[in-house]
Amino acid sequence: MAKALISIDYTIDFVADEGKLTAGAAAQAIADKIAEVTQVAYDRGDYIFFAIDGHDEEDEFHPETKLFPPHNIKGTSGRDLYGKLGQVYEKIKDDARVFWMDKRHYSAFSGTDLDIRLRERRVNTIVLTGVLTDICVLHTAIDAYNLGYEIEVVASAVASLTQENHLFALNHLQHVLGARIMEE
* Segment 134-145, tens digit of pLDDT: 999 999 999 999
Q: What percent of the chain has pLDDT over 70?
A: 95
Distance, in Å, from the CA atom of 87 to the CA atom of 103, rounded to the nearest integer, reads 21
17/59: higher pLDDT: 17
Reported as a single tens digit per residue, the pLDDT across 111-169 is 999 999 999 999 999 999 999 999 999 999 999 999 999 999 999 999 999 999 999 99
**Domains of the chain by start residue, with CATH:** 2-182 (3.40.50.850)
- As a whole number, mean pLDDT of residues 76-83 equals 93
Mean pLDDT of the chain: 93
How far is it, in rounded angstroms, from Cα 77 to Cα 46? 28
Query: Does this model's pTM top 0.85?
Result: yes
Residue 109 has pLDDT above 70, yes or no: yes
CA angle, residues 132, 137, 140, in degrees to nearest 5:
145
**Tens of pLDDT along 27-45?**
999 999 999 999 999 999 9
pLDDT band (50, 70, 90) for residue 62: low
